[in-house]
Amino acid sequence: MKYYIDFEPIGKRGRLSSEKLILDHARELGVDLVNICGGAGICGQCKVQIISGDASPLTTNEFGVLSPEEIAGGFRLACQALPLSDCLIHVPPESLTSPQRTQVEGDEILTYPVDPLIRFYSLKISSASVEDFRSDTEQLMEALHKQHQIKATSIDIKSLCDLPSLMHDGNRQTMAVVRDNEIISFHKSDARKIGMAVDIGTTKIACYLVDMETGRTLAAKGIMNPQIAYGEDVIARIGRAMEHSEALKLQKLVVDALNQSVKELCDQLNLNVAEIIEAVVVGNTAMHHLFLRLPVKQLAMAPYIPAVNTHLDVKAREIGLHICKGAYVHLLPNIAGFVGADHVSMLLALDAHNKKGVCLAIDIGTNTEICLINNKKTNHKKMTSVSCASGPAFEGGHIKHGMRASNGAIEHVHYEEGRIKYQTIGQMPPVGICGSGILDALAQLYKAGIINNSGRLSDDHPSIRNNDGQLEFVLAGKEETNNHKEITLTQKDIRALQLAKAAIATGITMLLESQGLSDNDIDEVVIAGAFGSYIDVASAVAIGMLPDLPIQRFKQVGNAAGIGAKAALVSQRHRKESQDIADRTEYIELAASTDFMEVFTKATLIGPV
């Protein structure tokens, strides 16, 4: 039986030759699972979760090691379970010997005033008197007004539960945490003032803890979005979430992962999670809606209308986030069904509305969002955005030996004197090729004349062979790889890459055309996002994915969406600006344009357009 096994979020998948345990399948595909007991079924370190597909019955060892909840959730020990059908397997981060590469850093372009919506007021409430029949709340509000000239009008219901003991059992001293006119919490006077900024990407999640008094990032963590096992791109994820129960499951996966990350970050800083008094969350529109448990079905159908475009404030506890009980989550506004709050956050971080000249801001992912900021031919700033369905090829999806960026992934490729040279993540023997390597391979083989501009592989190079009727270029031989299997770039892979790069190039061309501009009018191309940080811009230009401009006009800025979320966390001004950006950015639906197919078809050609 040749079952197809897909290990997520690593993105390694393949049809394997013979009946084997999941652990052996993983090894064969170059997925390194922790196996301290060497597969004896006793250490419990090789835990995986079968999302779909059948496997052999649970063994006695598994009943001994796994909890009833884990068993109910589909968890198995990889060293004990034998696949009995095609399987989609989620590998938790702790079961991997080396972590996935996630990126949280970004260029701090903005200088922002620290002016959070949350304020802290130290209060001393006068002693109780038998003649004072006012409620605890009235006395508290009066103290706040008298001592700080602050008129609070409401108190969070959970915090209200803490008030009587504070007033009657305690020393009537506290630190009131006030947001707008609401008292959201009472803290000890020495409690830290911490905020949390989160960028929920389709593939990765970045989480930051920020000092609300200085705006300084205290700790950050990047994790894979656990929803990946339920669909690699937004459309697949929406398809899965059509059923309400599945949508709730997806929401819980992200929230649980966030709670876990926040707990770990707090432990690092010796903080209590209750000291986190505000959160800002950004994400594409689908991630935003799923996070809020909003329906997403309409996002997958033209005209792709979001349920809400404006910014929102919701209680963190309503979402399931375990931070300060009265805390709010502020969600930045969306622009359209496929241009979400993460795009707004990126534009905020780039200070887009104050940019001079013409700038293209791009965040490359399974869905690529591009904004053209044009201050050249109009006397008021114009921002126009599009969304391009670039698909999972640059994440290693639909590529024969593709994988996401983790140890052993070929991340850079160079062709020199008839030979391929490559660099892997972690300098490990190669196990597959990730997005930046795929982009390089295509550019290098094109520049060497091994691939022509229509994407056809030449058949007279010593590294090219015919495998089952399909041409493929051998990038790494059996003797070099970790699993003793060649890593190749196939003709089919090249076709997938052509479609991905054409989607992005089409977006850029049509944006420029909409403003009567050409490539040469562009003063700056800003590439944001994790994938954009690692790509070789020259390769992206060589294949015609990005405009053919002098290299110094390109700038790679890292996770700008995360930077924007942090700015909105500590600065009321930037929070307002984010809504202004969303209101002023015009959205163009590419597929609705009559010349879309013509531009797209032309853009599938490799080489500068």
The nearer residue to ligand FES, 46 or 296, going by C-beta atoms, is: 46
Q: Does 22 bind ligand FES (CB under 6 A)?
A: no
The nearer residue to ligand FES, 33 or 359, going by C-beta atoms, is: 33
User: Nearest approach, Cβ of 23 to ligand FES (angstroms)?
Assistant: 6
The nearer residue to ligand FES, 65 or 329, going by C-beta atoms, is: 65
Residue 527, Cα to own-chain centre: how many angstroms? 15
Q: Does 44 bind ligand FES (CB under 6 A)?
A: yes
The nearer residue to ligand FES, 1 or 36, going by C-beta atoms, is: 36
User: Nearest approach, Cβ of 228 to ligand FES (angstroms)?
Assistant: 23
The nearer residue to ligand FES, 40 or 242, going by C-beta atoms, is: 40
Nearest to 285 by CA among 241, 328, 321: 241
Alpha carbon distance, N-terminus to C-terminus of the chain: 46
Q: Does 450 bind ligand FES (CB under 6 A)?
A: no
User: Nearest approach, Cβ of 68 to ligand FES (angstroms)?
Assistant: 18
User: Nearest approach, Cβ of 409 to ligand FES (angstroms)?
Assistant: 24
User: Nearest approach, Cβ of 80 to ligand FES (angstroms)?
Assistant: 7
**Pairing between β-strand 173-179 and β-strand 217-224 as defined by DSSP bridges:** unpaired
Q: Exactly one of 5, 77, 442, 537 binds ligand FES (CB under 6 A); which one?
A: 77
What's the CA gap between 14 and 102, in Å, rounded? Answer: 24
Q: What is the DSSP string of 499-523?
A: HHHHHHHHHHHHHHHHTT--GGG--
Q: What is the DSSP string of 25-48?
A: HHHHHT--B--TTSSSS-S-TTEE
The nearer residue to ligand FES, 77 or 581, going by C-beta atoms, is: 77
Q: Exactly one of 24, 27, 45, 211 binds ligand FES (CB under 6 A); which one?
A: 45
Secondary structure E strands in 166-233: 173-179, 182-187, 194-200, 204-211, 217-224
Residue 314 sits at φ, ψ, to 5 deg, of -130, 150
User: Nearest approach, Cβ of 62 to ligand FES (angstroms)?
Assistant: 9
The nearer residue to ligand FES, 43 or 84, going by C-beta atoms, is: 43
Q: Are 338 and 576 in contact (CB under 8 A)?
A: no
Q: Please give the residues from 24 up to 43 whose contact with ligand FES meets the rule CB under 6 A.
A: 35-37, 39-43
The nearer residue to ligand FES, 31 or 79, going by C-beta atoms, is: 79
User: Nearest approach, Cβ of 112 to ligand FES (angstroms)?
Assistant: 48
Q: Which two tokens stand for residue 310?
A: 């404006």
Q: Exactly one of 31, 46, 543, 567 binds ligand FES (CB under 6 A); which one?
A: 46
Q: Does 79 bind ligand FES (CB under 6 A)?
A: yes
Query: 3-class SS at 320?
Result: coil
Q: Please give the residues from 493 up to 532 whose contact with ligand FES meets the rule CB under 6 A.
A: none
User: Nearest approach, Cβ of 32 to ligand FES (angstroms)?
Assistant: 12
Residue window 209-238: x/- pattern of binding to ligand FES, with contact defined by CB under 6 A: ------------------------------
Secondary structure E strands in 389-515: 409-416, 419-424, 432-433, 464-467, 470-476, 487-490
The nearer residue to ligand FES, 37 or 448, going by C-beta atoms, is: 37
The nearer residue to ligand FES, 35 or 585, going by C-beta atoms, is: 35
Beta-bridge partner residues of 604? none
Q: Please give the residues from 310 up to 349 whose contact with ligand FES meets the rule CB under 6 A.
A: none
Q: Please give the residues from 158 up to 187 whose contact with ligand FES meets the rule CB under 6 A.
A: none
The nearer residue to ligand FES, 39 or 608, going by C-beta atoms, is: 39
Query: 3-class SS at 583?
Result: helix
The nearer residue to ligand FES, 98 or 135, going by C-beta atoms, is: 98
Question: Number of residues in contact with ligand FES, rule: CB under 6 A?
Answer: 13
What's the CA gap between 531 and 465, in Å, rounded? Answer: 30
Helix axes 157-168, 136-148, angle to 10 degrees: 90
User: Nearest approach, Cβ of 147 to ligand FES (angstroms)?
Assistant: 60
User: Nearest approach, Cβ of 84 to ligand FES (angstroms)?
Assistant: 19
User: Nearest approach, Cβ of 98 to ligand FES (angstroms)?
Assistant: 16
Q: Are 360 and 505 in contact (CB under 8 A)?
A: no
The nearer residue to ligand FES, 73 or 418, going by C-beta atoms, is: 73
Beta-carbon contacts of residue 285 (< 8 Å; ≥ 6 apart): 299, 306, 334, 336, 337, 338, 339, 340, 341
The nearer residue to ligand FES, 40 or 248, going by C-beta atoms, is: 40
Q: Are 147 and 123 in contact (CB under 8 A)?
A: yes
Q: Does 49 bind ligand FES (CB under 6 A)?
A: no
Please count the residues of the chain: 609
What's the CA gap between 227 and 238, in Å, rounded? Answer: 11
Beta-carbon contacts of residue 117 (< 8 Å; ≥ 6 apart): 179, 180, 278, 330, 572, 575
> Which residue reads 């304020």 in tokens?
119
User: The dihedral of CA 31, 37, 38, 44: what is its sign?
Assistant: negative
Q: Which secondary-structure segment (H or E) carries 528? A: strand 524-528
Q: Does 308 bind ligand FES (CB under 6 A)?
A: no
User: Nearest approach, Cβ of 37 to ligand FES (angstroms)?
Assistant: 4
User: Nearest approach, Cβ of 428 to ligand FES (angstroms)?
Assistant: 21
Q: Which two tokens stand for residue 387?
A: 């969304």
User: Nearest approach, Cβ of 256 to ligand FES (angstroms)?
Assistant: 23
Secondary structure E strands in 10-166: 12-15, 47-52, 75-77, 87-90, 118-124, 154-155
Interface residue list for ligand FES (CB under 6 A): 35-37, 39-46, 77, 79
